[in-house]
């Protein structure tokens, strides 16, 4: 059997995959272009994909009729046309659960860096700007007694909620497809944890931002297009909200240029699951899904159309 891995993963996962058959791993340190991806998957029985790989009917066609599984090394699977693959009898799997704590930690790290001006202070010192301590210097915002509004009450959203409660915050949740106006109106922090679907694309738009408190902060560690990035820049420049922490971007890896100039914005390059332990477990889980299907069993983490 032939297994295609579209970008390098942990060696532990590759060892498990090699026990099943021939493994081809892309050596390109970048996403494969569509034409490259089509050529790479030719003859594959299994494809281990990344969130930047668009896997649709054309890719399945390029792979051939023997393709049995696409194992996405991510929780989200908006990059995969699940119905098109299901029509061809191809299993689609993801890697839920194992990245919950790492992503929740990163979301809270963004919040602390933003509200306590950690990243801003770091930039000031590295620029060798003069400073001296006084009681009004670089004042931030405390979290105790504030309200955390969480959009999307799945595993990661709940994990962020537990962390917020440990910091003395009040936590409220709303459904992933339509954040309640009351949540946006009353929350001191709005943290996004909903999957990207047609309904959630630009869920946070100009109207949603205008509804938020002018002292509120927005955190996004889910998918970039959930936020209208241009509208967010407009809102920040107009002081409609107090700041934003973003780990994901609407046109990733590009970032709305105006956000790069703002001190009340903290940006990280999609690091939500980026711990050695988590990324290893994600790859191992994808390998186990491949193993289950190629040995005649059911996938561990099936995605249904």
Tell me which of 61, 116, 252, 258 is the catalytic residue. Answer: 252
Tell me which of 223, 279, 281, 288 is the catalytic residue. Answer: 223
DSSP letter at 251?
Answer: B
Tell me if residue 252 is catalytic.
Answer: yes
Tell me if residue 298 is catalytic.
Answer: no
Tell me which of 2, 163, 193, 270 is the catalytic residue. Answer: 270
Contact (Cβ atoms closer than 8 angstroms) between residue 262 and residue 234:
no
Peptide bond into 253 cis (omega under 30): yes
Contact (Cβ atoms closer than 8 angstroms) between residue 282 and residue 95:
yes
3-state DSSP call for residue 214? coil
Can you list the alpha helix ranges (DSSP code H) found in the chain? Answer: 11-18, 34-40, 57-63, 82-87, 100-115, 118-126, 155-166, 181-186, 206-211, 229-237, 276-294
3-state SS record for 22-88: EEEECCCCCCCCHHHHHHHCCCCCEEEECCCCCECHHHHHHHCCCCCEEEECCCCCCCECHHHHHHC
Dihedral sign (CA 150, 109, 139, 233) = negative
* Lookup: tokens for 147: 């309200």
Tell me if residue 163 is catalytic.
Answer: no
Please count the other Cβ atoms lying within 10 Å of the Cβ belonging to residue 43: 15
Please count the other Cβ atoms lying within 10 Å of the Cβ belonging to residue 180: 14
DSSP letters for 134-147: -TTTT-----TT-E
The residues annotated with a catalytic role in the active site are: 223, 252, 270
């Amino acid at each position: 059997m032939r297994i295609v891995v579209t970008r390098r993963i942990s060696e532990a996962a590759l060892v498990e995959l090699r026990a099943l058959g021939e493994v081809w791993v892309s050596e390109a340190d970048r996403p494969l272009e569509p034409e490259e991806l089509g050529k790479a998957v030719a003859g594959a029985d299994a494809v281990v994909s990344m969130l930047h790989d668009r896997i649709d009917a054309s890719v399945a066609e390029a792979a051939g009729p023997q393709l049995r599984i696409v194992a996405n090394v991510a929780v989200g699977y908006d990059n995969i046309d699940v119905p098109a693959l299901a029509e061809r009898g191809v299993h689609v799997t993801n890697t839920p659960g194992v990245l919950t704590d790492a992503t929740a930690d990163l979301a809270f790290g963004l919040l602390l860096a933003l509200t306590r001006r950690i990243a801003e202070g770091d930039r000031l010192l590295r620029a060798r700007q003069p400073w001296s301590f006084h009681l009004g210097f670089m004042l931030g915002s405390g979290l105790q007694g504030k309200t955390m509004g969480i959009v999307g009450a799945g595993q990661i959203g709940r994990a962020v909620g537990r962390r917020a409660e440990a910091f003395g915050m009040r936590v409220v949740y709303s459904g992933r497809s339509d954040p309640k106006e009351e949540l946006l109106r009353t929350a001191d922090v709005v943290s996004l944890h909903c999957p990207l679907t047609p309904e959630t694309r630009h869920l946070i738009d100009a109207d949603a931002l205008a509804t938020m408190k002018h002292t509120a902060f927005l955190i996004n560690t889910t998918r970039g297009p959930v936020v209208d990035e241009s509208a967010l820049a407009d809102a920040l420049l107009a002081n409609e909200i107090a700041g934003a922490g973003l780990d994901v971007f609407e046109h990733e890896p590009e970032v709305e240029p105006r956000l790069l100039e703002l001190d009340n914005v903290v940006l990280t390059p999609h690091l939500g699951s980026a711990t050695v332990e988590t990324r290893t477990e994600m790859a191992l889980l994808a390998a186990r899904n491949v193993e289950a299907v190629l040995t005649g069993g059911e996938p561990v983490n099936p995605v249904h159309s």
